[in-house]
Structure 1
Amino acid sequence: MSDQAAEWAEAGVRLELAGELATVTLCRPERRNAQSPAMWRALAAIGRELPGTVRVALLRAEGLSFSAGLNRQAFTPEGIPGERSFIDLAKSDDADEVIAEYQEGFLWWRRPDLVSIAAVQGHAVGAGFQLALACDLRVVAEDVQFAMKETALGLVPDLTGTKPLVDLVGPARALEICGTGRWVGAEEAARTGLANLVVPAEELDAAASELATALLAAPRSALIETKALLQGVGGRTLDEQRAAERAAQLRRLRDLAGVGE
Protein backbone atom coordinates (compact mmCIF):
# COMPACT_ATOMS: atom_id res chain seq x y z
CA MET A 1 0.00 0.00 0.00
CA SER A 2 1.35 3.42 -0.94
CA ASP A 3 1.77 6.13 1.68
CA GLN A 4 -1.13 8.03 0.11
CA ALA A 5 -3.42 5.00 0.15
CA ALA A 6 -2.44 4.31 3.77
CA GLU A 7 -3.28 7.91 4.68
CA TRP A 8 -6.67 7.63 3.00
CA ALA A 9 -7.36 4.32 4.75
CA GLU A 10 -6.48 5.88 8.10
CA ALA A 11 -9.08 8.56 7.32
CA GLY A 12 -11.62 5.84 6.54
CA VAL A 13 -11.60 5.76 2.74
CA ARG A 14 -10.29 3.26 0.19
CA LEU A 15 -9.94 3.65 -3.59
CA GLU A 16 -9.90 0.76 -6.07
CA LEU A 17 -9.45 1.22 -9.82
CA ALA A 18 -10.57 -1.31 -12.40
CA GLY A 19 -10.22 0.12 -15.88
CA GLU A 20 -12.86 2.80 -16.36
CA LEU A 21 -14.49 2.13 -12.97
CA ALA A 22 -13.38 3.72 -9.69
CA THR A 23 -14.78 2.28 -6.47
CA VAL A 24 -14.53 4.44 -3.35
CA THR A 25 -15.31 2.63 -0.09
CA LEU A 26 -15.96 4.10 3.33
CA CYS A 27 -14.05 1.62 5.46
CA ARG A 28 -14.60 2.39 9.13
CA PRO A 29 -17.55 0.08 9.84
CA GLU A 30 -16.69 -0.13 13.55
CA ARG A 31 -17.41 3.62 13.72
CA ARG A 32 -20.46 3.35 11.42
CA ASN A 33 -18.32 5.28 8.91
CA ALA A 34 -18.62 8.47 10.93
CA GLN A 35 -17.08 11.34 9.02
CA SER A 36 -14.30 13.75 9.88
CA PRO A 37 -12.35 16.53 8.18
CA ALA A 38 -9.64 13.94 7.46
CA MET A 39 -12.19 11.84 5.55
CA TRP A 40 -13.35 14.89 3.61
CA ARG A 41 -9.76 15.75 2.69
CA ALA A 42 -9.19 12.17 1.57
CA LEU A 43 -12.34 12.22 -0.59
CA ALA A 44 -11.23 15.51 -2.17
CA ALA A 45 -7.76 14.11 -2.85
CA ILE A 46 -9.22 11.00 -4.47
CA GLY A 47 -11.25 13.23 -6.77
CA ARG A 48 -8.10 15.10 -7.79
CA GLU A 49 -6.10 11.91 -8.32
CA LEU A 50 -8.64 9.97 -10.41
CA PRO A 51 -7.24 9.04 -13.83
CA GLY A 52 -8.94 10.76 -16.74
CA THR A 53 -9.93 7.34 -18.07
CA VAL A 54 -12.44 6.83 -15.22
CA ARG A 55 -16.02 7.01 -16.51
CA VAL A 56 -18.01 5.73 -13.54
CA ALA A 57 -17.36 6.29 -9.83
CA LEU A 58 -19.08 3.93 -7.40
CA LEU A 59 -19.36 4.98 -3.74
CA ARG A 60 -20.06 2.26 -1.21
CA ALA A 61 -19.55 1.59 2.49
CA GLU A 62 -18.56 -1.35 4.65
CA GLY A 63 -20.69 -2.48 7.56
CA LEU A 64 -24.32 -2.06 8.55
CA SER A 65 -24.46 1.70 7.97
CA PHE A 66 -23.45 3.83 5.01
CA SER A 67 -22.45 6.69 7.31
CA ALA A 68 -23.75 7.81 10.67
CA GLY A 69 -22.75 11.38 9.83
CA LEU A 70 -20.20 13.67 11.41
CA ASN A 71 -18.15 12.46 14.34
CA ARG A 72 -19.78 14.46 17.16
CA GLN A 73 -16.40 14.81 18.87
CA ALA A 74 -15.74 17.67 16.43
CA PHE A 75 -18.09 19.81 18.55
CA THR A 76 -16.29 19.21 21.84
CA PRO A 77 -13.67 21.68 23.09
CA GLU A 78 -10.87 19.20 22.43
CA GLY A 79 -12.22 18.20 19.02
CA ILE A 80 -11.23 15.14 16.97
CA PRO A 81 -7.57 14.27 17.65
CA GLY A 82 -5.36 16.03 15.12
CA GLU A 83 -8.17 18.34 13.94
CA ARG A 84 -9.38 21.78 14.88
CA SER A 85 -12.38 21.79 17.16
CA PHE A 86 -15.47 23.23 15.47
CA ILE A 87 -15.74 25.50 18.51
CA ASP A 88 -12.34 26.95 17.64
CA LEU A 89 -13.31 27.09 13.97
CA ALA A 90 -16.34 29.22 14.83
CA LYS A 91 -14.02 31.79 16.43
CA SER A 92 -11.51 31.88 13.56
CA ASP A 93 -11.14 34.31 10.67
CA ASP A 94 -10.71 31.56 8.06
CA ALA A 95 -13.86 29.54 8.84
CA ASP A 96 -15.46 30.17 5.44
CA GLU A 97 -12.32 29.01 3.64
CA VAL A 98 -12.05 25.90 5.83
CA ILE A 99 -15.69 24.89 5.25
CA ALA A 100 -15.20 25.43 1.50
CA GLU A 101 -12.29 22.97 1.69
CA TYR A 102 -14.50 20.45 3.49
CA GLN A 103 -17.06 20.77 0.67
CA GLU A 104 -14.48 19.79 -1.96
CA GLY A 105 -14.84 16.13 -1.00
CA PHE A 106 -18.52 16.33 -1.98
CA LEU A 107 -18.21 18.25 -5.25
CA TRP A 108 -16.25 16.10 -7.70
CA TRP A 109 -18.91 13.37 -7.82
CA ARG A 110 -20.90 15.76 -10.02
CA ARG A 111 -18.11 16.19 -12.58
CA PRO A 112 -19.38 16.29 -16.18
CA ASP A 113 -16.90 13.68 -17.42
CA LEU A 114 -18.15 10.82 -15.23
CA VAL A 115 -21.30 9.36 -13.68
CA SER A 116 -21.34 8.63 -9.95
CA ILE A 117 -23.39 6.02 -8.09
CA ALA A 118 -23.92 5.75 -4.34
CA ALA A 119 -24.76 2.30 -2.93
CA VAL A 120 -26.43 3.06 0.39
CA GLN A 121 -27.41 0.72 3.22
CA GLY A 122 -28.56 1.27 6.78
CA HIS A 123 -28.22 4.75 8.18
CA ALA A 124 -27.14 7.71 6.04
CA VAL A 125 -27.35 10.63 8.44
CA GLY A 126 -26.39 14.28 8.01
CA ALA A 127 -23.03 14.30 6.26
CA GLY A 128 -23.75 10.71 5.19
CA PHE A 129 -27.02 11.76 3.56
CA GLN A 130 -25.25 14.65 1.86
CA LEU A 131 -22.50 12.38 0.54
CA ALA A 132 -25.12 10.10 -1.01
CA LEU A 133 -26.81 13.19 -2.48
CA ALA A 134 -23.50 14.28 -4.00
CA CYS A 135 -23.71 11.34 -6.43
CA ASP A 136 -25.70 11.35 -9.66
CA LEU A 137 -27.55 8.11 -8.83
CA ARG A 138 -28.45 6.19 -5.68
CA VAL A 139 -29.05 2.46 -5.30
CA VAL A 140 -30.34 1.75 -1.80
CA ALA A 141 -30.96 -1.28 0.36
CA GLU A 142 -34.42 -1.97 1.76
CA ASP A 143 -33.13 -1.11 5.24
CA VAL A 144 -31.90 2.37 4.28
CA GLN A 145 -32.72 5.25 6.62
CA PHE A 146 -31.86 8.78 5.46
CA ALA A 147 -32.01 11.74 7.84
CA MET A 148 -30.78 15.33 7.84
CA LYS A 149 -30.20 16.03 11.54
CA GLU A 150 -28.24 19.29 11.29
CA THR A 151 -31.15 21.67 11.94
CA ALA A 152 -32.16 19.77 15.08
CA LEU A 153 -28.61 20.36 16.34
CA GLY A 154 -28.84 24.10 15.69
CA LEU A 155 -26.90 23.87 12.42
CA VAL A 156 -27.66 23.71 8.69
CA PRO A 157 -26.67 21.15 6.03
CA ASP A 158 -23.51 22.69 4.57
CA LEU A 159 -21.78 19.90 2.65
CA THR A 160 -23.48 20.69 -0.69
CA GLY A 161 -26.57 18.59 0.04
CA THR A 162 -29.29 21.25 -0.03
CA LYS A 163 -29.40 21.80 -3.81
CA PRO A 164 -29.65 18.13 -4.85
CA LEU A 165 -32.21 17.50 -2.11
CA VAL A 166 -34.43 20.33 -3.37
CA ASP A 167 -33.86 19.30 -6.99
CA LEU A 168 -35.02 15.77 -6.18
CA VAL A 169 -37.94 16.26 -3.78
CA GLY A 170 -38.88 19.95 -4.08
CA PRO A 171 -38.41 22.80 -1.59
CA ALA A 172 -41.43 22.04 0.62
CA ARG A 173 -40.55 18.38 1.25
CA ALA A 174 -36.86 19.26 1.59
CA LEU A 175 -37.71 21.81 4.29
CA GLU A 176 -39.88 19.28 6.10
CA ILE A 177 -37.15 16.61 5.95
CA CYS A 178 -34.45 18.99 7.18
CA GLY A 179 -36.60 20.87 9.66
CA THR A 180 -37.88 17.79 11.44
CA GLY A 181 -34.80 15.60 11.07
CA ARG A 182 -37.09 12.62 10.56
CA TRP A 183 -36.14 9.33 8.96
CA VAL A 184 -36.78 8.69 5.26
CA GLY A 185 -37.01 4.99 4.44
CA ALA A 186 -36.53 3.09 1.22
CA GLU A 187 -40.14 3.23 0.05
CA GLU A 188 -40.36 7.01 0.40
CA ALA A 189 -36.88 7.44 -1.10
CA ALA A 190 -37.98 5.56 -4.22
CA ARG A 191 -41.31 7.38 -4.43
CA THR A 192 -39.81 10.87 -4.11
CA GLY A 193 -36.82 10.31 -6.40
CA LEU A 194 -34.12 10.09 -3.74
CA ALA A 195 -33.46 6.49 -4.78
CA ASN A 196 -33.18 5.19 -8.33
CA LEU A 197 -33.42 1.56 -7.24
CA VAL A 198 -34.29 -0.31 -4.03
CA VAL A 199 -32.97 -3.84 -3.51
CA PRO A 200 -32.56 -6.31 -0.64
CA ALA A 201 -29.47 -5.52 1.44
CA GLU A 202 -27.68 -8.67 0.31
CA GLU A 203 -28.09 -7.61 -3.33
CA LEU A 204 -26.88 -4.02 -2.93
CA ASP A 205 -23.30 -4.42 -4.17
CA ALA A 206 -24.36 -6.57 -7.12
CA ALA A 207 -27.11 -4.13 -8.14
CA ALA A 208 -24.78 -1.13 -7.97
CA SER A 209 -22.13 -2.99 -9.96
CA GLU A 210 -24.71 -4.00 -12.55
CA LEU A 211 -25.76 -0.36 -12.96
CA ALA A 212 -22.12 0.71 -13.31
CA THR A 213 -21.61 -1.93 -16.00
CA ALA A 214 -24.67 -0.73 -17.90
CA LEU A 215 -23.42 2.86 -17.83
CA LEU A 216 -19.98 1.80 -19.02
CA ALA A 217 -21.59 0.09 -22.02
CA ALA A 218 -22.72 3.45 -23.43
CA PRO A 219 -20.26 5.44 -25.58
CA ARG A 220 -18.46 7.89 -23.29
CA SER A 221 -19.05 11.02 -25.38
CA ALA A 222 -22.76 10.31 -25.71
CA LEU A 223 -23.12 9.73 -21.96
CA ILE A 224 -21.26 12.95 -21.15
CA GLU A 225 -23.44 14.93 -23.58
CA THR A 226 -26.60 13.38 -22.13
CA LYS A 227 -25.59 14.14 -18.54
CA ALA A 228 -24.83 17.75 -19.47
CA LEU A 229 -28.18 18.13 -21.21
CA LEU A 230 -30.10 16.78 -18.24
CA GLN A 231 -28.14 18.74 -15.64
CA GLY A 232 -28.76 21.98 -17.50
CA VAL A 233 -32.53 21.62 -17.79
CA GLY A 234 -33.33 23.59 -14.65
CA GLY A 235 -31.61 26.72 -15.88
CA ARG A 236 -33.05 26.72 -19.43
CA THR A 237 -36.35 27.52 -21.08
CA LEU A 238 -37.86 24.98 -23.44
CA ASP A 239 -36.48 26.84 -26.45
CA GLU A 240 -33.03 27.02 -24.85
CA GLN A 241 -33.16 23.32 -23.99
CA ARG A 242 -34.16 22.23 -27.49
CA ALA A 243 -31.37 24.40 -28.90
CA ALA A 244 -28.95 22.68 -26.52
CA GLU A 245 -30.29 19.31 -27.70
CA ARG A 246 -29.69 20.24 -31.33
CA ALA A 247 -26.16 21.43 -30.64
CA ALA A 248 -25.31 18.29 -28.68
CA GLN A 249 -26.80 16.02 -31.33
CA LEU A 250 -24.86 17.74 -34.10
CA ARG A 251 -21.65 17.22 -32.14
CA ARG A 252 -22.48 13.54 -31.78
CA LEU A 253 -23.42 13.13 -35.47
CA ARG A 254 -20.26 14.87 -36.61
CA ASP A 255 -18.19 12.73 -34.28
CA LEU A 256 -19.79 9.52 -35.54
CA ALA A 257 -19.38 10.65 -39.14
CA GLY A 258 -15.79 11.69 -38.61
CA VAL A 259 -16.59 15.27 -39.60
CA GLY A 260 -14.68 18.10 -37.91
CA GLU A 261 -16.35 21.03 -36.22
Structure 2
Amino acid sequence: MDEVLHRLEGGVSWITLNRPEAMNAVTWEQREHVIALLAEASADPAVRAVVLTATGAGFCAGADLRSQPPATPTAPPAPAPAPRLAGDVSRMIRLGAQRLITAVLDCEKPVIAAVNGTAAGIGAHLALACDLVIAAEGARFIEVFVRRGLVPDGGGAYLLPRLLGPQKAKELLFFGDAVPAEEAARLGLVNKVVPADGLEGTARAWAERLAAGPTRALALTKQLVNASLDSDRATALAAEATAQELNMTTADANEGVASFRERRTPKYRGH
Protein backbone atom coordinates (compact mmCIF):
# COMPACT_ATOMS: atom_id res chain seq x y z
CA MET A 1 0.00 0.00 0.00
CA ASP A 2 1.38 3.40 -0.99
CA GLU A 3 2.09 5.53 2.08
CA VAL A 4 1.47 8.68 0.07
CA LEU A 5 -1.33 8.80 -2.48
CA HIS A 6 -1.16 11.33 -5.29
CA ARG A 7 -3.39 12.42 -8.10
CA LEU A 8 -3.62 15.45 -10.40
CA GLU A 9 -7.20 16.48 -10.99
CA GLY A 10 -8.37 19.67 -12.68
CA GLY A 11 -5.11 21.49 -12.04
CA VAL A 12 -5.08 20.43 -8.37
CA SER A 13 -2.36 18.19 -6.93
CA TRP A 14 -3.91 16.02 -4.21
CA ILE A 15 -1.30 14.72 -1.74
CA THR A 16 -2.70 12.25 0.79
CA LEU A 17 -0.85 10.72 3.73
CA ASN A 18 -1.89 7.08 3.83
CA ARG A 19 -0.84 5.29 7.02
CA PRO A 20 -4.20 5.31 8.80
CA GLU A 21 -3.20 2.48 11.13
CA ALA A 22 -0.46 4.75 12.54
CA MET A 23 -2.58 7.94 12.54
CA ASN A 24 -0.34 9.00 9.64
CA ALA A 25 2.77 9.45 11.75
CA VAL A 26 5.29 10.55 9.12
CA THR A 27 8.00 8.12 8.08
CA TRP A 28 11.26 9.01 6.34
CA GLU A 29 9.85 7.77 3.03
CA GLN A 30 6.61 9.73 3.37
CA ARG A 31 8.45 12.92 4.21
CA GLU A 32 10.74 12.64 1.19
CA HIS A 33 7.81 11.78 -1.08
CA VAL A 34 5.77 14.80 0.07
CA ILE A 35 8.77 17.12 -0.30
CA ALA A 36 9.32 15.84 -3.85
CA LEU A 37 5.64 16.25 -4.78
CA LEU A 38 5.62 19.85 -3.51
CA ALA A 39 8.74 20.61 -5.55
CA GLU A 40 7.08 19.07 -8.60
CA ALA A 41 3.97 21.18 -8.00
CA SER A 42 6.08 24.34 -8.03
CA ALA A 43 7.74 23.40 -11.31
CA ASP A 44 4.76 21.93 -13.17
CA PRO A 45 2.59 24.50 -14.99
CA ALA A 46 -0.26 21.96 -15.02
CA VAL A 47 -0.45 22.21 -11.21
CA ARG A 48 -2.17 25.37 -10.02
CA ALA A 49 -3.10 24.44 -6.45
CA VAL A 50 -2.27 21.73 -3.91
CA VAL A 51 -4.40 19.95 -1.30
CA LEU A 52 -2.63 18.15 1.55
CA THR A 53 -4.82 15.69 3.44
CA ALA A 54 -4.82 12.19 4.96
CA THR A 55 -6.79 8.97 5.24
CA GLY A 56 -8.36 7.49 8.35
CA ALA A 57 -9.06 9.14 11.69
CA GLY A 58 -5.89 11.22 11.98
CA PHE A 59 -4.29 13.90 9.84
CA CYS A 60 -0.79 13.33 11.19
CA ALA A 61 0.27 12.18 14.66
CA GLY A 62 3.79 13.62 14.26
CA ALA A 63 7.03 12.00 13.18
CA ASP A 64 7.42 8.24 13.27
CA LEU A 65 10.59 8.11 15.36
CA ARG A 66 11.13 4.44 14.49
CA SER A 67 11.46 5.00 10.75
CA GLN A 68 14.87 5.00 9.06
CA PRO A 69 16.05 5.78 5.53
CA PRO A 70 15.52 2.68 3.38
CA ALA A 71 18.47 0.48 2.45
CA THR A 72 19.52 0.50 -1.21
CA PRO A 73 21.79 -1.80 -3.25
CA THR A 74 24.62 0.72 -2.81
CA ALA A 75 23.74 1.54 0.80
CA PRO A 76 23.34 -1.55 2.97
CA PRO A 77 21.28 -1.46 6.16
CA ALA A 78 22.75 0.82 8.79
CA PRO A 79 24.70 -0.83 11.61
CA ALA A 80 23.68 -0.55 15.24
CA PRO A 81 23.36 3.12 16.26
CA ALA A 82 26.60 4.76 17.35
CA PRO A 83 26.69 7.01 20.41
CA ARG A 84 25.02 10.35 19.64
CA LEU A 85 27.47 13.17 18.92
CA ALA A 86 27.02 16.90 19.31
CA GLY A 87 25.29 18.19 16.19
CA ASP A 88 23.55 14.94 15.29
CA VAL A 89 20.10 16.02 16.51
CA SER A 90 20.21 19.50 14.98
CA ARG A 91 21.31 18.01 11.66
CA MET A 92 18.47 15.48 11.79
CA ILE A 93 15.94 18.26 12.43
CA ARG A 94 17.33 20.55 9.72
CA LEU A 95 17.29 17.79 7.12
CA GLY A 96 14.01 16.28 8.29
CA ALA A 97 11.16 18.17 9.94
CA GLN A 98 12.38 21.61 8.89
CA ARG A 99 12.75 20.58 5.24
CA LEU A 100 9.18 19.29 5.25
CA ILE A 101 7.74 22.50 6.67
CA THR A 102 9.79 24.78 4.43
CA ALA A 103 8.72 22.72 1.41
CA VAL A 104 5.14 23.76 2.17
CA LEU A 105 6.02 27.38 2.90
CA ASP A 106 8.14 27.67 -0.25
CA CYS A 107 5.80 25.85 -2.63
CA GLU A 108 4.99 28.28 -5.44
CA LYS A 109 1.41 27.08 -5.65
CA PRO A 110 -1.19 27.75 -2.92
CA VAL A 111 -1.45 24.81 -0.52
CA ILE A 112 -4.66 23.90 1.32
CA ALA A 113 -4.59 21.63 4.36
CA ALA A 114 -7.72 19.49 4.64
CA VAL A 115 -7.36 18.32 8.24
CA ASN A 116 -9.48 15.21 8.74
CA GLY A 117 -8.48 14.40 12.33
CA THR A 118 -5.82 14.90 14.98
CA ALA A 119 -2.79 16.94 13.92
CA ALA A 120 -0.09 16.60 16.58
CA GLY A 121 3.51 17.76 16.80
CA ILE A 122 5.03 18.02 13.35
CA GLY A 123 1.58 17.09 12.02
CA ALA A 124 0.14 20.30 13.47
CA HIS A 125 2.98 22.32 11.97
CA LEU A 126 2.49 20.63 8.60
CA ALA A 127 -1.12 21.85 8.59
CA LEU A 128 -0.35 25.33 9.93
CA ALA A 129 2.38 25.91 7.34
CA CYS A 130 -0.26 25.63 4.60
CA ASP A 131 -1.75 28.77 3.09
CA LEU A 132 -5.33 27.84 3.98
CA VAL A 133 -6.57 25.34 6.56
CA ILE A 134 -9.94 23.57 6.44
CA ALA A 135 -10.68 21.27 9.37
CA ALA A 136 -13.30 18.60 9.99
CA GLU A 137 -15.40 19.16 13.10
CA GLY A 138 -13.63 16.40 15.02
CA ALA A 139 -10.10 17.55 14.23
CA ARG A 140 -7.71 18.63 16.98
CA PHE A 141 -4.36 20.41 17.02
CA ILE A 142 -1.85 19.42 19.71
CA GLU A 143 1.59 20.85 20.48
CA VAL A 144 2.64 17.53 21.91
CA PHE A 145 6.36 18.26 22.34
CA VAL A 146 6.15 19.47 25.93
CA ARG A 147 4.41 16.24 26.92
CA ARG A 148 7.57 14.38 25.86
CA GLY A 149 9.96 16.87 27.48
CA LEU A 150 10.98 18.20 24.07
CA VAL A 151 11.44 21.61 22.47
CA PRO A 152 9.01 22.22 19.58
CA ASP A 153 10.68 21.63 16.24
CA GLY A 154 9.57 21.66 12.64
CA GLY A 155 9.01 25.42 12.80
CA GLY A 156 6.56 25.45 15.70
CA ALA A 157 8.16 28.36 17.55
CA TYR A 158 8.31 30.24 14.23
CA LEU A 159 4.78 29.57 12.99
CA LEU A 160 2.68 29.91 16.15
CA PRO A 161 3.74 33.40 17.28
CA ARG A 162 3.08 34.69 13.77
CA LEU A 163 -0.38 33.14 13.73
CA LEU A 164 -1.40 33.82 17.34
CA GLY A 165 0.98 36.32 18.91
CA PRO A 166 3.62 35.34 21.49
CA GLN A 167 1.40 35.01 24.59
CA LYS A 168 -1.12 32.57 23.12
CA ALA A 169 1.65 30.69 21.31
CA LYS A 170 3.43 30.16 24.62
CA GLU A 171 0.23 28.86 26.20
CA LEU A 172 -0.17 26.19 23.54
CA LEU A 173 3.53 25.31 23.52
CA PHE A 174 3.93 25.28 27.33
CA PHE A 175 0.86 23.17 28.16
CA GLY A 176 0.40 20.98 25.08
CA ASP A 177 -3.39 21.00 25.44
CA ALA A 178 -5.51 19.74 22.55
CA VAL A 179 -7.20 22.56 20.62
CA PRO A 180 -10.50 21.46 19.03
CA ALA A 181 -11.21 22.59 15.48
CA GLU A 182 -13.80 25.21 16.48
CA GLU A 183 -11.40 26.77 19.00
CA ALA A 184 -8.60 26.66 16.43
CA ALA A 185 -10.84 28.59 14.03
CA ARG A 186 -11.64 31.17 16.70
CA LEU A 187 -7.93 31.65 17.34
CA GLY A 188 -7.17 32.06 13.64
CA LEU A 189 -5.31 28.77 13.13
CA VAL A 190 -8.07 27.42 10.88
CA ASN A 191 -9.95 29.21 8.09
CA LYS A 192 -13.05 27.02 8.07
CA VAL A 193 -14.57 24.12 10.03
CA VAL A 194 -16.91 21.74 8.21
CA PRO A 195 -18.64 18.41 8.93
CA ALA A 196 -16.34 15.46 8.30
CA ASP A 197 -18.34 14.34 5.26
CA GLY A 198 -17.99 17.81 3.72
CA LEU A 199 -14.21 18.15 4.12
CA GLU A 200 -13.12 16.83 0.73
CA GLY A 201 -15.86 18.71 -1.11
CA THR A 202 -14.97 22.01 0.56
CA ALA A 203 -11.27 21.50 -0.10
CA ARG A 204 -12.04 20.68 -3.73
CA ALA A 205 -14.19 23.79 -4.15
CA TRP A 206 -11.51 26.06 -2.70
CA ALA A 207 -8.73 24.36 -4.67
CA GLU A 208 -10.65 24.65 -7.93
CA ARG A 209 -11.19 28.37 -7.30
CA LEU A 210 -7.45 28.78 -6.76
CA ALA A 211 -6.66 26.65 -9.81
CA ALA A 212 -8.83 28.95 -11.92
CA GLY A 213 -7.01 32.02 -10.63
CA PRO A 214 -3.90 33.92 -11.78
CA THR A 215 -1.31 31.37 -10.68
CA ARG A 216 1.81 33.55 -10.85
CA ALA A 217 0.06 36.41 -9.03
CA LEU A 218 -0.94 33.99 -6.27
CA ALA A 219 2.65 32.71 -6.01
CA LEU A 220 4.01 36.23 -5.69
CA THR A 221 1.30 37.16 -3.19
CA LYS A 222 2.17 34.13 -1.04
CA GLN A 223 5.84 35.10 -1.17
CA LEU A 224 5.07 38.70 -0.18
CA VAL A 225 2.88 37.74 2.78
CA ASN A 226 5.36 35.17 4.10
CA ALA A 227 8.33 37.53 3.74
CA SER A 228 6.47 40.48 5.29
CA LEU A 229 6.40 38.74 8.67
CA ASP A 230 10.19 39.08 8.87
CA SER A 231 10.55 42.43 7.06
CA ASP A 232 10.47 46.09 7.99
CA ARG A 233 8.05 48.40 6.17
CA ALA A 234 10.53 49.72 3.62
CA THR A 235 11.68 46.23 2.66
CA ALA A 236 8.11 44.95 2.41
CA LEU A 237 6.98 47.84 0.20
CA ALA A 238 10.02 47.48 -2.06
CA ALA A 239 9.29 43.75 -2.42
CA GLU A 240 5.65 44.54 -3.24
CA ALA A 241 6.63 46.94 -6.02
CA THR A 242 9.10 44.45 -7.49
CA ALA A 243 6.52 41.65 -7.35
CA GLN A 244 3.99 43.77 -9.21
CA GLU A 245 6.63 44.63 -11.83
CA LEU A 246 7.31 40.93 -12.36
CA ASN A 247 3.63 40.04 -12.34
CA MET A 248 2.77 42.57 -15.04
CA THR A 249 4.89 40.57 -17.49
CA THR A 250 2.52 37.58 -17.20
CA ALA A 251 -0.28 36.73 -19.60
CA ASP A 252 -2.74 36.42 -16.71
CA ALA A 253 -2.09 40.00 -15.55
CA ASN A 254 -2.71 41.29 -19.05
CA GLU A 255 -5.87 39.18 -19.25
CA GLY A 256 -7.07 40.53 -15.90
CA VAL A 257 -6.65 44.15 -16.99
CA ALA A 258 -8.16 43.50 -20.41
CA SER A 259 -11.20 41.73 -18.95
CA PHE A 260 -11.79 44.65 -16.58
CA ARG A 261 -11.71 47.13 -19.45
CA GLU A 262 -13.96 44.91 -21.57
CA ARG A 263 -16.36 44.20 -18.68
CA ARG A 264 -16.11 40.41 -18.91
CA THR A 265 -15.02 37.54 -16.67
CA PRO A 266 -11.28 36.88 -16.93
CA LYS A 267 -9.98 33.54 -18.18
CA TYR A 268 -6.70 32.83 -16.42
CA ARG A 269 -4.36 30.19 -17.83
CA GLY A 270 -1.77 30.06 -15.08
CA HIS A 271 1.09 31.88 -16.83
TM over 0.5: yes
For the residue of structure 1 that corresponds to 2:225, the secondary structure is: helix
CA contact (8 A) 1:112 1:227 kept: no
Q: 1:205 aligns with which of 197, 200, 205?
A: 200
Task: Confirm or deny that 1:95 pairs with 2:96.
Answer: no
Q: Which structure is higher in helix share? A: 1
1:154 is matched with 149
Distance 1:19 1:199, change over 3 A: closer
CA contact (8 A) 2:14 2:51 kept: yes
d(CA) in 1 for partners of 2:101, 2:210: 21
Question: Greater shift after overlay, 38-47 or 211-220?
Answer: 38-47
Q: 1:233 aligns with which of 204, 210, 228?
A: 228
d(CA) in 1 for partners of 2:247, 2:38: 27
For the residue of structure 1 that corresponds to 2:119, the secondary structure is: strand
CA contact (8 A) 2:161 2:169 kept: yes
Gaps of 5+ in 1: 1-5
Q: 1:63 aligns with which of 56, 73, 79?
A: 56
Amino acid of the structure 1 residue aligned with 2:17: L
TM-score by length of 1: 0.81
How big is the alpha-carbon RMSD for the aligned residues of Structure 1 and Structure 2?
Answer: 2.7
For the residue of structure 2 that corresponds to 1:235, the secondary structure is: coil
2:23 is matched with 32
Deviations 1:185-234 (A, max 9, x none): 12221111100111111100111111111111211122122222222222
CA contact (8 A) 1:113 1:224 kept: yes
Distance 1:143 1:242, change over 3 A: same
Amino acid of the structure 2 residue aligned with 1:249: Q
TM-score by length of 2: 0.79
Q: 2:121 aligns with which of 114, 118, 126?
A: 126
Distance 1:81 1:249, change over 3 A: closer
Following TM superposition, by how much is the alpha carbon of 1:155 offset from its aligned partner in structure 2, in angstroms? 0.8
Residue identity (%): 34
Bigger relative contact order (CA 8 A; separation at least 6): 2
Distance 1:185 1:153, change over 3 A: same
For the residue of structure 1 that corresponds to 2:229, the secondary structure is: helix
Task: Confirm or deny that 1:177 pairs with 2:172.
Answer: yes
Gaps of 5+ in 2: 71-76, 256-271
Following TM superposition, by how much is the alpha carbon of 1:41 offset from its aligned partner in structure 2, in angstroms? 2.5
Deviations 1:6-45 (A, max 9, x none): 7xx2xx2122223532111011112211223332233223
d(CA) in 2 for partners of 1:221, 1:113: 8
2:240 is matched with 245
Deviations 1:223-254 (A, max 9, x none): 12222222222233344434433333344345
- Report how many aligned residue pairs link the two structures: 242
